[in-house]
Structures are given as structure tokens and as C-alpha cells.
Amino acid sequence: MKRVYNFSAGPSALPVPALERAAAEMLDLNGTGQSIMEMSHRSKDFAPIIRNAESLLRSLMGVPSNYAILFLQGGASLQFSMVPLNLAGVEAGTPRKQAGYAETGVWSQKAIEEGAKYLNPVVRASSKDRGFTYIPQAPAPDPQDAFYHITLNNTIVGTKWAELPETGAVPLVADISSCILSEPLDISRFGLVYAGAQKNLGPAGVTVVIIREDLIGRAPSWTPGMLRYDIHAKEGSMYNTPPCHGIYIIGLVLEWLRDLGGVSAVAELNREKAGLLYGYLDSSKRFRSPVEKKYRSLMNIPFVPVDEDRRKEIETRFVAAAAEAGLVNLAGHRLVGGMRASIYNAMPKAGVHALIAFAERFEKTL
């Protein structure tokens, strides 16, 4: 069986042990004689599957008991609407509330754009002036802010927050889609975090929301039922048919992570992998990282040719030749170009070594 090294930003590589177990259980899960994809979400057979996923996530992330964990749909993009609706929505005919946002890349811009439909977004900090290659200093929010939103890891540009902003009584909200479970995170610092599963958790189709319970139940009466955190929390993430297969795979991925030693253990491995690749880029005469060192992501590492005049040609050749060598999905996001290696938890160190060895060979052809 041929397996490539998949550097996709998402949907991304999954741990092989989780995939192998899913394959073995495809026709008969837990002796039920049926696949997870055929199983009723209301059945006694599915109940322990979703409970297991929630319990493992709570344990691995150290989620306090006064936070609810929800398994939703719609991707992180739907949370750009659900967060302002539920945390700052107002009844018809009453003045809009305001919320603070940090503008650090494309996804934060999309969150701001969606938020503007329900409230008055105020950009408290921005790194747009230097192409989002760093994380800006975050001033304290206005006490009137309903929440303060950040994108903890910026998948496209490869930056991450080195230090969390201090927000006092204003709930800190974070999109953690591309860094969830990559290193320890103090959930008690946040009012709410959310993550699309397709990077470090499981397959596309599941979105995890972790919300402090005192923030639940604030949605205005006109909010559609499917967009209300209180309804999903009350129904245990089963207000409607949940993405059963995705939740099952998340459970397998979390079991793999637990057996690996947990988040602290994988964080050490992630730092080692990132250190290897950044070390190569910092010593290369042909490629460079565009991100300021203090704010470099552990998960998403973009790099570009030093030769700006031949940039497009070199990028095209590099991505094609890498794919031929079994290193796939290395093209940068269409909005920024370049190359990008996403080295999520499931990427083995051998994959990073293979990428560096290929890049070194490729340099000799330039």
C-alpha cells in the first residue's frame, strides 16, 4: 500500500492507527453488526461513542467542569456568525452591541465581516500593515465589548499568538481550528473556543465548540434553533442528527493522542518538527520563511523562493516535483502563493525529514 506525506492545510493527514482501526470496524462496530454510518444517533450503541469523544477531549485539553463541549456542523465559518449571534445578539429594535476583533489574516477578516451583520465590530489590533507576517500588540478591550475575538493560529500566513491578550471581564473568544491539541492551552483563559475538525481532530464535517456555561442562553429570541448554543447544549449535541462518523473518528484520534502521551508529549514532537523545518529555511540560500520568528506557527509553515524574479516558476516546479516524490499538497494558499507545509499532529517526523531532503535536492537544480 502506497502512502504519501500529506502536507495539506485541511482536510489533513490523520493518524494511521486511527485509520486502520476505522477500516477494521467499518462493517461491524463494537459487535453491533453495523457500520457507524448506519447507526442511529439515538441508539444505545451510539451514546457511548459521543460520550467517549467528549470525555477524552475534556481530559486531554483540561476543560473545566463549567464549560460545555458541543459537536456541531457548518465548519468554523459558521461560528463567525454563531459567536456574535449568541454572545452579542439583540432583540429587534434595540441598539447593536459592539465586540473587539484582532485582524491577523484572512480568517479573522471573514469573522469580522460576518460579525458586522449582527453587531458593531471594532478592530482592536491589526497586522495587515506588514502582510499579516506577525501578531500585533493587543490593547485592552473596551469594557463595553461583548467579547474579544482572535484567531489563535493563522493557517494561511503561518503565524500564531505567542501570548494571549488580557481581556479582563470581556470574554476572550478564539478560533483554534489549526492548532487545537497541538500544545497545551489554558481553556479557563477563554469564554469560548471553536475548531473545525479537519486539521488536528478528524475528518471535515464536525466543529467543536467549547463554551463557558454562563455564556450560554444569551441568544435573542429570533435566533434560528440550529444556531443557538443553548439548544445544542441542552440536547447533548443531538438536537438534530449529528455528524456521527466524524465524531467516531475524533474519538479514535483522541485515543491515539492519549496513547502517545497526551498534549504535552505531542507538543514536544511538534516543536521538534517545526524546529527542523525552520532550521532548514533559515540556513537555505534558495528559500525563506516570510514570518517574523517570534510569531511562527508550529502547524503551518509557509515558505517562498528567495529569487523574486523567478518566484512563480520555482513554486510551480517545486510543488510538481514534490508531488512526484510523494510529498503532496505543498502549494501555498491561492491568496498568498508560495509553498506551505502543514505539519499537524499526525505528520510524522520522517515526513519533515523527507521534505527537507527533497528541498535540498531541488535547490541544486536552480
Q: Which residues are catalytic?
A: 107, 175, 199
Which neighbouring-strand residues pair with 148?
100, 172
Are the beta carbons of 67 and 212 closer than 8 angstroms?
yes
Grid coordinates representing 188 are 479557563
Read off the C-alpha cell for 149. Answer: 475575538
**Type of residue at 114:** E
What's phi and psi for 313, nearest 5 deg?
A: -60, -45
Confirm if 41 and 242 have CB atoms less than 8 A apart. yes
Is there a contact between 309 and 293 (Cβ–Cβ < 8 Å)?
no
| Residue whose grid cell is 458541543 | 70
Rounded Cα gap, residues 342 and 329, in angstroms: 9
CA distances from 259 to 263, 269, 345 (A): 10, 14, 13
**Is residue 323 within 8 Å of residue 315, measured between CB atoms?**
no
Q: Name 204's bridge partners.
A: none
What residue has cell string 523527507? 354
